[in-house]
Structure 1
Amino acid sequence: MLIDKKDFKNAVGLNSLGINIARAVGPALGGLLLASMGAAFTYGVDVLSCVVVIAALMWWKRPATQRDALSERFPGAFRAGLRYARASRELHIVLLRAFLFFAMASSVWALLPLVARQLLEGGPSFYGILLGAVGLGAIGGAVIMPRLRMYLSPDGLLLTSALVTSSVMALLCLAPPKWLAVTSLLILGAAWITALTTLNGVAQAILPNWVRGRSLAVYLTVFNGAMAAGSLAWGIIAQGIGVPLALLSGAVGLAAIGCIAHRIKLPKGESDLMPSNHWPEPLTATPVEYDRGPVLIQIEYRVALADRPAFLKILARLSAERRRDGAYAWGITEDSADPSLMLEWFQVESWAEHLRQHKRVSKSAADIQEEVLRFHQGEEGPVVRHF
């Protein structure tokens, strides 16, 4: 991790600022090259720029790191990332809000070339101007984002972005003068970067370091999937009812979805996700090979019958933490001969994965475990066994 958690949102905004500077400058340079040198030369320069980036990555000398016996291989790391994404309710909310917003807002990106040609009666150069306006507006939006966050919550920012974007889309379907269309796309760029930065920032804030890259890959898959599927759908709709009505439908849909989804609050991302390292090393008679598995972990609690409902309620929260940190199965059972004896169990795919689980447990999860332990009766702590 390169920055402190408190700087996530501003750092995401700065990164988005760089992207949108490129988005503003790129179409302008491309338009100049296309007009002066032709399409073949323009695409040749584009290919060359990619070659330069690839070469830079290949020549980049990264610092040497010591080999960790618990380093994850790709297949296991991939499965662990998917398990985390499947078990994290907070991430589910971010993915849902992102899908709904971008699926509806994709209509303006899918139809903008047709808007430029049919409604605004412009050519390729004017379309480049429209894209440049979006990029410049995004730069302005990224600059004022820190001030906006002083007055609006992430949910408020996302709702405002949806309403502003839908208003611009509704304006474009009326075929406004070119100067007004360019001005409106400046505003669209600011609203777009506000939504993108808000969702990115929340996603970054709710993810622990060990799985951040993998979970962000899931987020980007949902984002790009929503844009791709939405663009295809809006293209089909425009073919059936025309560009103006399709764009108006997208505007109305985005405003409606924005207001409805506003009731599903984004997570605040205030949990302490740093590793707690409070689990003791598991006792073994002899060293266990790292690739042996699966591994079954059992924890015996003794809980008064009167406390059982509250105990199970907190344990349900702990189960989500177990699954996020690597468990692929979890359960709680009672002893039929002694109902006060409760047995929690969970399974991980290998001994190495369980040792990684020891390093992944966050301070937030440790607080939940402390709440669970308050219900345990007896001088000794819960009995833990590994199979």
Structure 2
Amino acid sequence: MTATLGKVSGPAGSAWAPLRVPTFRALWIAMLVSNIGTWMQTVGAQWLLVSIPGAEILVAMVQTATTLPGLLLALPAGVLADIFDRRHLLIAVQLFMTTVAAAMAVATALGEMTPALILTLTFALGSGAALTVPAFGALIPELVPRRELAHASALGAVSVNLARAVGPALASLVIAWIGIAAVFALNALSIAVFAAVLIAWRPGPMAASEDPERFLAALRAGGRYVRHSPVTRRILVRATLFVVPATALWALLPLVASRLLGVGAGGYGALMAALGVGAIVGAIALPHLHRLLRTNVALLVASATYAGCLLLIALWHDMLAVTVALVPAGVAWVAVLSTINAQMQLFLPVWVRARGLSAYQIVIFGGQALGALLWGTVATHAGLAWAFATAGAAMLLGAATIRLLPLFDTHHIDRNPTVYWPEPHLELEPEPEAGPVLVIVTYRVEPANEAAFVEALEQVGEGRRRTGATRWRLYRQGEHPWTFVEVFQVPSWEEHIRQHSHRATGFEVEAERRAYALAATAPEVAHLLPAGARSGHPLPAGAPNER
């Protein structure tokens, strides 16, 4: 696997192609409506707090309350999305969010809304969003062809950022004409629309699948996959280095409007609209951007552009200048995050897709939550200008690491699930929960192939850990120096069967084939079970013991 500034797999063709799929189109429109309501709610909640004492930290904490659940609930949400029916899960979550949004509207209309209640109910809505993101993201590859996944990701960014353009502007009009309670009521209606489309959607019959994983086992398996996937870890690093400083803009923009620029809700709506327009332009132009620039170079340019906007806000307090600068900032925001999100969706194997996306969600939501708190604190103690200047400098430092920590080139990696090992057959057929299971694979290697074999087995070991092994080591026999013994431990027999049945992809299979080609004879495999393991279905003596 290489990590270069070269071309990383990216989108090609029409940016609008996924909208030809009727189900995707209906869900995309419904999500757009819901996103508009979400941005209206954010503006309403922040504007309720702008004029009270301690507004700097309270306004920023609206962003924290919205995104912190993504940090706390992302992994459980990914597990739920991988082991339960995703459509049913989404429907239940949208109905819960509709109830919460309606409660916000009622409390505000009755004059009972306090800062604590605003943040509590906003946190509840953020919890619903945290449960929605991995389930909806994992549905997308089931709705559109793989070659259009990058475009579907970009269209997701179009939805979010069109909502950023429309939602704040619409919210400012509603606040001025009717009041903030109406904003919250419209948010409840927008979530209900998304729920209605999900209820009306009747997906076709799904192919029969194996029994769902147990919750805690699935949670641990997802964590192991992320820890032992260099590609996934690198994507998460790049997302972190961008999101944390970038959040200063979203978290503190209401204060920029009211204090640095001296404008009201209408002016704030115009600033948010400029960001949204830029993001829409960026999403539409993303396929062309990838054709013109290498992906890592595009990330560098976009990050530097965003940093320039942060620094301009710190130094130049002019409404027109800031509004104009926010357009390229919106382009940069969507260029970076759509690229990174598409890389995650394209790379993650099917069996762990929602859990992998939940790790991405942790970085995005958690980075925004912690970043908002950080920049709100800096603004409180040093002033808004210093907060933006510091965030801009941090963004430039992060962009400078792209040469050292670029995205990996993954276009050559086969991510299709592959059944490579025949299912193991033992004379003692253990119960699924029996474990831990120790697997011992013995290889005989010619001396000339030793170095290449050891290197190849290291990659095999990474694959074992990604697909379920909790421990892995390679040994050599002292009595027979050219005999190597691979030992790995799996939590249960059920987990090991999952390794055999569907977790390996073409990438893991190719690594094993390279290693086996360097061995002098076929590997010998033994499965060691706990001495007290019970047999589920004993096999007759002489039954084959295949790998």
Fold match (TM-score > 0.5): yes
**Secondary structure of 2:408's aligned partner:** coil
> Which range moved further: 57-66 or 280-289?
57-66
Pairwise CA distance, 1:66? 5.9
Partner Cα separation in structure 2 for residue 216 and residue 184 of structure 1? 31
Structure-1 residue corresponding to 2:235: 94
Post-superposition offset of 1:69: 3.9
Which among 336, 344, 353 is matched to residue 212 of structure 1? 353
Deviation (angstroms), 1:143: 0.9
- Which residue of structure 2 aligns with residue 167 of structure 1? 308
Q: How does 1:189-338 map to 2 (within 5 A)?
A: 189-270=330-411, 271-338=413-480
Map of 2:247 onto structure 1:
106
Assess if the C-alpha contact under 8 Å between 1:202 and 1:267 holds in 2: no
The residue type equivalent to 1:348 in the other structure is: V
Residue 148 of structure 1: which of 289, 292, 299 is its match? 289
1:376 equivalent in alignment to 2:514: no
3-state DSSP of counterpart to 1:284: coil
Residue pair 1:314, 1:372 contacting (<8 A) in 2 also: yes
Write the letter of the residue equivalent to 1:319: G
Deviation, structure 1 residue 220: 0.8
1:290 to partner: Cα distance: 2.1
Give the match for residue 508 of structure 2.
Answer: 365
In structure 1, the residue corresponding to 2:484 is in which secondary structure?
strand
- Paired with 2:409 and 2:313, the residues of 1 have a C-alpha distance of 35
Q: Which residue of 1 aligns with 2:28?
A: none
Asked if 2 retains the 8 angstrom alpha-carbon contact of 1:119 and 1:173, the reply is no
Structure 1 runs of 4+ off > 6 angstroms? none
**Structure 1 segment 19-58 matched on structure 2, within 5 A:** 19-57=160-198
Deviations 1:146-177 (A, max 9, x none): 11101112211111111111111111122343
Give the 3-state SS of the residue equivalent to 1:263 in structure 2: coil
1:368 deviates by: 1.1
Instruction: Say what the alpha-carbon RMSD is for the aligned residues.
Output: 1.8
Distance 1:69 1:144, change over 3 A: closer
**Contact 1:327 1:347 survives alignment (8 Å):** yes
What is the distance in 2 between the residues matched to 1:116 and 1:262? 36
Separation in 2 of the partners of 1:264 and 1:12?
23
What one-letter code is carried by the residue in structure 2 that aligns with 1:335?
Answer: Q
| Alpha-carbon shift at residue 201 of structure 1 (Å) | 1.4
Q: Would the alpha carbon gap of residues 65 and 5 (structure 1) be closer, same or farther in structure 2, given more than 3 Å must change?
A: closer
User: TM-score, normalised on structure 1?
Assistant: 0.94
Alpha-carbon contact 1:133-1:189 (below 8 Å) kept: yes
**Separation in 2, partners of 1:144, 1:165:** 17
Q: Secondary structure at the match of 1:150?
A: helix
- After superposition, the Cα gap between the structure-2 partners of 1:263 and 1:172, relative to the gap in structure 1 and judged at 3 Å, is same
| Deviation by residue 1:324-346 (Cα, 9 ceiling, x = unmatched) | 11111111122222222111011
Name structure 1 gaps, 5 residues minimum.
none
The letter of the residue matching 1:281 is: E
- Aligned letter for 1:325? T
Contact 2:453 2:519 in 1 (8 A): no
Deviations 1:247-294 (A, max 9, x none): 112112211221123321101222001122121121222543222222
Which segment drifts farther, 337-346 or 299-308?
299-308
State the secondary structure of the residue aligned to 1:337.
Answer: coil
In the TM superposition, residue 61 of structure 1 has moved relative to its aligned partner by 4.1
Q: CA deviation at 1:60?
A: 4.7
Unpaired runs of at least 5, structure 2: 1-140, 529-547
Q: State the 1:5 CA deviation.
A: 3.6
Aligned length: 385
Please name the residue that 1:126 is paired with. Answer: 267
2:437·2:489 contact (CA, 8 Å) conserved in 1? yes
Deviates more, 1:112-121 or 1:57-66: 57-66
Q: Provide the rounded CA distance (Å) in 1 between the counterparts of 2:151 and 2:189.
A: 32
Residue 339 of structure 1 aligns to a residue whose secondary structure is coil
